[in-house]
Structure 1
Amino acid sequence: MRNSREFAHQHPPQDGSVHLTLPEDTKKLVTEAGWGIPHPIQNTELVFGPRDRDEIELVWQILLASYDYARGR
Structure 2
Amino acid sequence: MSDSFSSSDYLYLVLVPVAEVFRSRFPECSAPFNAIRTYSKCRVKFTGKRLEREWQEFCKKHDLKNDPELEY
TM-score bin, normalised by smaller chain: 0.3 to 0.5
Higher share of residues assigned helix? 2
Q: TM-score under structure 1 normalisation?
A: 0.38
